[in-house]
Amino acid sequence: MKFKTSAIIFLIFTFVIIHCKTTRAEDKQPNVLLICIDDLRPELGCFGVDYIASPHIDRLASKGTIFRRHYVQAPTCGASRYTLLTGQYGGSGNDSLFRRAAKLKKDSGTVSPSLPAWFRKHGYTTVSVGKVSHHPGGLGGERWNEPKQSEMPNAWNRQLLPAGDWKDPRGWMHGLAHGETRDDSRTKNGGISMDVFQAVEGGDEIYPDGVSVDEALRQMDQLADDPDVPFFLAVGILRPHLPFGAPAKYLRTYENTKLPLTLHPDKPVGKTTWHGSGEFMKYNRWKRNPNSDIDFANDVRKHYAACVSYADAQVGRLTERLKKTGVAENTIIVLWGDHGWHLGEHAIWGKHSLFEESLRSPLIICDPSMDQNGESTESIVEALDLFPTLCELTGMEVPEFVQGVSLKPILKNPTRKGHPAISYFRKAKTIRTDSHRLILHNDGFVELYDHRTTEKETKNIAVNKPDVVAQMSKQLKSRMGQ
């Protein structure tokens, strides 16, 4: 009888301990791991593309929700990241965050806080590694390492960009093997002598992302060692940004790959936001043009794919280390592409247009507290929505200045309807609905495309659909506060 009583007491004691531990785990605010990937098209295995090798991102997606129609606010790095990090519409240039920082310094108190600053204010340790804002490490100056010129003042506890043995942030940002920089290589006509693509034998560490992800893993270990303080860790992966450089082992994956045909490869007729692929064309292309040389076009596409697989490997390193730290079950993971990239569609090789290929990018959200099993949603959402979403998922209030909406309802029910997406660049702005894209140029010219047709964004029907133009124009101007 005495033995039975002792056993019962032991079982009750054990239950109380386990219950207390569970309660504490449930009550603790979740961590956030934000992975920003540069120039990533929504072409991954989990997005239904079979020729791309992206096993690590696919594995992450299998535990989260895939947003198949996520659109960014601007088809360029700095302006897109402005929206992500501030929760507001902003300028369309790469200097948008620096302009905001200057205003913050000049007129303290009138500029809205940022996403990392908001989390920091609410007790999180905030750490940035790599290209999270526009500049690597978030700093300006001649060599991009001047602490007084921060893109995100008072936002991060630590904002890091390890340049490895190269000792120069430009060696990281310019992106070729062993820290090659382009500063002294510009020709008289404005070209760049760096090769547009490259594949060098060696480990991941010979290219920038291998070095910076090493640092991100160190930071993750350090953050996980303090279980009483939640963390917001943002990691910026540079690839597949130009120039397309990755270790040769990733290119070998695509040696015998048969690439799908490029849809709508012709230069648009009439006025559009088409451009001559200036950024791409400035690099050394061995006097070859992918618009007229199919073999060269395929070489470019395979090197881009190699860069995607290299970026995917870095995502794998991050998610595997997160598991090893023991905090994965209490960490929300967001994988976000800062914009898309044309690989010959509309005869463009680059971003910087207001076509679908520039504005649509991958978004995957994985919250271990929710019942997610790789669901996908066709709901239209914006990068603007990530700020309020992360606030709601972590139990934080959503600040009044945020202009997006939380995606938590869609995470709970992927069939819920989204909302039209707004984007802008230079002298035009656009709105994307379920069926149409409208582009308004500042001079009054209008483009309207019907995505229910096979022509999609190759046939401007604005003249024939004045009622649709009027309705969508009203929507666009209302959303932009005009």
Domains in the chain (CATH in brackets) are 32-426 (3.40.720.10), 429-482 (no CATH)
Q: Is the pLDDT of residue 458 over 80?
A: yes
Write down the mean pLDDT value for the chain: 91
How far is 86 from 82, CA to CA, in rounded Å?
6
Region 194-222 average pLDDT: 97
pTM to 2 decimals? 0.93
pLDDT tens digits, 334-353: 999 999 999 999 999 999 99
pLDDT band at 162 (very low <50, low <70, confident <90, very high): confident
Q: Which of 77, 307, 366, 391 is catalytic?
A: 77
pLDDT tens digits, 71-107: 999 999 999 999 999 999 999 999 999 999 888 887 7
Q: For position 164, what pLDDT does the model report?
A: 73
Catalytic residue flag (residue 275):
no
How many other CB atoms are there within 10 angstroms of residue 367's CB atom? Answer: 22
pLDDT tens digits, 262-284: 999 999 999 999 999 999 999 99
Nearest one of 59, 75, 133 to 99, comparing CA atoms:
133
Q: Which of 70, 134, 135, 352 is catalytic?
A: 134
Catalytic residue flag (residue 77):
yes
pLDDT band at 28 (very low <50, low <70, confident <90, very high): confident
Region 175-198 average pLDDT: 76
> 334: exposed, middle or buried (C-beta count within 10 Å: 0-12, 13-18, 19+)?
buried
Q: For position 137, what pLDDT does the model report?
A: 87
Helix pair angle (96-106, 77-86), 10° resolution: 50
